[in-house]
Amino acid sequence: MARVSLKGVVKRYGAATVIPRLDLDIEDREFVVLVGPSGCGKTTTLRMIAGLEPVSEGTIRIGDRDVTDLRPGLRNCSMVFQSYALYPHMTVRDNIGYGMRVRGESRARIESKIAEAARILGLEPYLDRRPKHLSGGQRQRVAIGRAIVRNPDVFLFDEPLSNLDAKLRIEMRTEIKNLHRRLESTVVYVTHDQVEAMTLADRVVVMNSGVIEQIADPITLYEKPANMFVAAFIGAPSMNFLAVRLTGDAVELADGTRLPVPQERAAALAGFNGRSVMLGLRPEHMAGGEKGPAVVTLVPRTIEPLGPHTLVIGELAGTRITAQVDARFPCRPDEPTRITFDMNQMHVFDRETGKTL
Amino acid sequence: MKRGAVFLLCLAWLFVTLFPIYWALVTSFKPPPAVNGGPTYLPWIDFQPTLQAWIDAFSGIRGDFVRPFVNSTLIGLSATVLAVAFGSMAAYALVRYTFRVRLLAGVLFALLGIGGFLLFRDLGLSRADSLGAAFVLALAASILANRLPLPGPVLGNNDVVFWFLSQRMFPPIVTAFALYLLYSEIGREGVKALDTFWGMTFCYTAFSLPIVVWLMRDFFQALPVEIEEAALVDDVPRIRIFLEIVVPMARPGIVATAMITLGFVWNEFLFALLLTTSDWQTLPIFLSGQNSYRGDEWWAISAAAMIAIAPMMVMAVLLARLMRSGLVLGGIR
Ligand SMILES: Nc1ncnc2c1ncn2[C@@H]1O[C@H](COP(=O)(O)OP(=O)(O)OP(=O)(O)O)[C@@H](O)[C@H]1O
Ligand SMILES: [Mg+2]
C-alpha cells in the first residue's frame, strides 16, 4: 500500500500535447477517482501510472520509489481494464493464478489465494469456466480477482463498469467500494460517469483537456465548485447558468427581472458590484410557486415527471433553464409558471475566466 | 432471378475447377487404348476401368515413388515449422514494437557489406571469412549509424513489411539462380548445400517467410492489446506473453498460415528443380520426370498426380472446415 505522486507530468503524442502539466498527490489507502469528459486524458494518466505509456516529462513516484522509468511489471500495480482483458484461452482459475505462476510462487500459496479471491468475489462456481462462458459482471469480477491476488501497492481501474448494464453497474459499484474498505489499498479509478465518481471516491479529480480543474471530496465538489466547468460537470441534471449583473443587494437578469441576494452573500460579493457575471443555480435549488423573495416566470417547453419530482425545462431571459419542482406541482407546457430560486445556494462565476467569485 | 444467375455462375466455376481433377482421376483408371484412341469420359460406359496404373505406381516400376514423397513431406513440414515460428515472431515484433530505420543506415549496410567483402578478399582472407567479417562490420556500423540523426527518410514498420513482401515480387527465377550460385559456392567451401535436406529446408523457409509475416501480422493486429498489457502489468516477460498468451489466442491463424505455407512448399517446383538432383528430389520434380520416363503414358502420370495432390486435398478440406467453424477469424472471445 502506498502513496502515488505525479510531479510536473507532461504527455505528448508527437506534436500534440495531451497533458500539459499535471501534479497529483494520492494518499495511502485513498480512493481517488479521475473523472472528466471523453478524451480529457484520464486513461492516459492511468496508463502513465501503470507504466504502459511513457511520460514525456516529469516524475511519478509510488510509495518511496521513483518509478518514472521502471517497466510496468516492476511498479507493483494491478490494472483492471474496461474490456476486462481476460486471457480467453484460460479458465477463471488460471486467469487469476497466471501472474503468480509466472512469478514462481508455490502451488499451495497460489491455490489458497485463488480460493480466497473466489470467495470474496463469489466466483467459486465458475472457477473452471472459460471467460467466454461468463456474463459481463462475472468477467469483471474475474478481472478484479486477477488484480487483488497480486497484493498491489495501487489498484488502477479504467472505466471497469462501463460495459455493464445499469443495474449491474450499481451492484458492482457497491462491491468495489466494499472491496476497497476490506483491502485497505490505494485506488485510482477512472470513469466518465460523475455519479460513479461521487459515490466511490474519497477524493474526485475533475479533468478537462488534460488539466485538473479541481481536486476535492464529493461534497465539496458539489457545494463549492472551483469553476463553471466543475459546476456544470458535477450534478445531474446539470447546473443552470444565467448571465446577470450584480447590483448590490440583487442580481439583474437580461430581461430586467431582479432577484434579491441574501445579506451575507451580497456582502461577500460587494467588490464586484455592477459587474456582469454568471449566476449558477442547480435545478434542485429551485421550487415551484412563490416560496421566497426570488421569483421568476418561466415558460415551460418540456415537462419531465420522474416520480419523486418533476423537471420543468423552459426558457428564461433567453437561456434554457431546468427547474426541479414537486411531483404534483401544477404546470403545463407553454403556460407561464412561477418558479422560486433559493438564492442561498447560488454560485457566481467570472464571465471571462469561469472561476468562482 | 439474380440468385439464380449467381448460382449458375458458381456452378460453371465449380465445373472449371473440378474438371481437371476429375479428368486426372478417371485417366488414372483408363487402360492405354482408352487414352490413345480419342477422348473417353465415363468409366464403365466409355471404357472399362483398370487398376493397372495404380499397381504400377505402387510397385515401383515407374521409379521410386516413396522417396520423393518422404522428401517432400520432411522438407515441407520442417520448412513450414521454421517459417511459421520465425515469421510469427517477426510479425509480432512488427505489430507491437515501433521500428525506425534510417534509409542512410540501410544504404551504409549495403555499401559496407559489399565493399567490405571485396576489400577483405583482396587483403587475402578466404571468401567465407571475408563474407562473415564484412557482414559483422556492416551490421555493427549500420546499427550505430541508425542512432545518429542522419538526414533522409526514416522507414517505419510498414516499410519493413513491404521490404519482406517485395522479396516475393520479383520473378522467383532470379532468387533461384542466386541461391544456386550461393549453394555451389558454399559447397566449394566444403559444406554441401545443394541436394541436401538442410539446403532445401533453409531455402523454403526463406521463401515462405514473407507470406507468413504478412499473414500473421494481420492476425496479431486483430488481437486486443489490453490482454497483453494486463500481463505486462503483472510482470510477465515478453517471451512468455508471446508463447503463452499470444500464440494460443492466434492459434487458428497460425494453423491456417501453416497450411497455406505447407501448400506453397509442397507444390514448389523451380527451386527444387535447380537445387536438387537425386537424393532430395521432391514430388513435383519427380512428377515432371514421369512425363519423359517412358513417353507420354498419361494413365501413369495421372495416377502419380493424384498421389501428389492427395495430401493437399486433405489439407484443403481441413482448412475449409476450420474456416466454416469460424475458428480462423472469429476465434477470439
Ligand atoms: N496513441 C495516441 N496518439 C495520439 N493521440 C492520442 C493517443 N492516445 C490518446 N490520444 C489522445 O489523447 C487524448 C486523451 O486520451 P485518453 O484516452 O486519455 O482520454 P480519456 O479521458 O480516457 O477518454 P475516454 O473517456 O473517451 O476514455 C485524446 O484526445 C486522444 O485523442
Ligand atoms: Mg479512457
A40 lines ligand 1 (CB under 6 A): yes
CA-CA-CA-CA torsion sign (B41, B43, B48, B53): positive
Burial status of residue A219 (CB atoms within 10 A of its CB: 0-12, 13-18, 19 or more): exposed
Quick one: what percent of chain B has pLDDT higher than 90? 46
Whole-angstrom CA distances from B315 to A29, A270, B212, B270 are 58, 87, 17, 23
Least confident range from A9-23, A182-196, B62-76: namely B62-76
Asked whether residue A290 is domain-assigned, the answer is: yes
If you average pLDDT over residues A272-294, what whole number do you get?
89
The DSSP bridge partners found for residue A324 are A311
- Pairing of β A319-326 and β A347-350: unpaired
**pLDDT tens, position by position, A334-350:** 889 999 999 999 999 99
Q: How confident is the model at residue A1 (pLDDT cuts 50, 70, 90)?
A: low
Chain B residues with CB inside 8 Å of A88's CB?
227, 249, 332-333
- The predicted structure's pLDDT at residue B107: 92
> Could A87 and B245 be called an inter-chain contact, meaning their C-beta atoms sit closer than 8 Å?
yes
- The predicted structure's pLDDT at residue A273: 84
Q: Is B213 strand, coil or helix?
A: helix
- Find the helix or strand (DSSP H, E) in which A170 lies: helix A166-183
Asked whether residue B33 is domain-assigned, the answer is: no
Q: How confident is the model at residue B293 (pLDDT cuts 50, 70, 90)?
A: low
Asked whether residue B18 is domain-assigned, the answer is: no
- Would you say residue B331 has pLDDT above 50? no
Number of domains making up chain B: 2
B198 with B61, same domain?
yes
- The predicted structure's pLDDT at residue B174: 87
Asked whether residue B95 is domain-assigned, the answer is: yes
A15 lines ligand 1 (CB under 6 A): no
**pLDDT tens, position by position, A222-279:** 999 999 999 999 988 999 999 999 887 888 888 888 889 888 888 888 888 888 899 9
Closest CA relative to residue A174, chosen from A136, A96, A182, A133: A182
If you average pLDDT over residues B157-175, what whole number do you get?
87
Least confident range from A112-126, A193-207, B211-225, B318-332: namely B318-332
Q: What is the mean pLDDT of chain A?
A: 91
Number of domains making up chain A: 1
B203 with B220, same domain?
yes
Q: What is the mean pLDDT of chain B?
A: 87
- Would you say residue A76 has pLDDT above 80? yes
- Would you say residue B322 has pLDDT above 80? no
Asked whether residue A23 is domain-assigned, the answer is: no
Atom of ligand 1 nearest to the CA of A192: 25
Contact B275, B173 (CB under 8 A): no
Domain that holds residue B55: 44-99+164-333
Give me ligand 1 centre to Cα A82, in Å.
Answer: 14
- Would you say residue B39 has pLDDT above 80? no
Asked whether residue B11 is domain-assigned, the answer is: no
In this structure, what CATH number is given to the domain that contains residue B77? Answer: 1.10.3720.10
- Does residue B54 or residue B108 have the better pLDDT? B108
Q: Residues A200, A150, B243, CA angle at the centre, nearest 5°?
A: 120
- Would you say residue B333 has pLDDT above 60? no
Q: What whole-number distance in Å separates Cα of residue A195 and Cα of residue A35?
A: 10
B223 with B250, same domain?
yes
In this structure, what CATH number is given to the domain that contains residue A257? Answer: 2.40.50.140
Q: How confident is the model at residue A124 (pLDDT cuts 50, 70, 90)?
A: very high
Asked whether residue B31 is domain-assigned, the answer is: no
**pLDDT tens, position by position, A133-153:** 999 889 999 999 999 998 899
Q: What whole-number distance in Å separates Cα of residue B299 and Cα of residue B282?
A: 21
- Would you say residue B240 has pLDDT above 80? yes
B147 with B249, same domain?
no
- The predicted structure's pLDDT at residue B325: 65
Asked whether residue B248 is domain-assigned, the answer is: yes
Tell me the residues of chain B between 238 and 257 that have a Cβ less than 8 Å away from chain A: 240, 244-245, 248-249
Q: Tell me how crowded residue B88 is: count the other CB atoms within 10 A of its CB.
A: 25
Residues 6+ apart with CB under 8 A from A280: A228, A231, A239, A240, A241, A242, A346, A347, A348, A349
- Residue with grid cell 482421376, as numbered in its chain: B25
Domain that holds residue A310: 240-350
> Could A52 and B237 be called an inter-chain contact, meaning their C-beta atoms sit closer than 8 Å?
no
- Would you say residue B292 has pLDDT above 70? no
Q: Is A199 strand, coil or helix?
A: helix
Give me ligand 2 centre to Cα B121, in Å.
Answer: 60
- The predicted structure's pLDDT at residue B294: 63
- The predicted structure's pLDDT at residue B287: 83
* Of the partner residues A72, A86, A88, the one whose CB lies closest to the CB of residue B232: A72
Residues 6+ apart with CB under 8 A from A113: A96, A97, A100, A149
Asked whether residue A230 is domain-assigned, the answer is: no
**pLDDT tens, position by position, B245-258:** 999 999 888 988 99
Quick one: what percent of chain B has pLDDT higher than 70? 96
Phi and psi, residue A10, nearest 5°: -125, 140
B141 with B59, same domain?
no
Rg (CA), chain B: 25
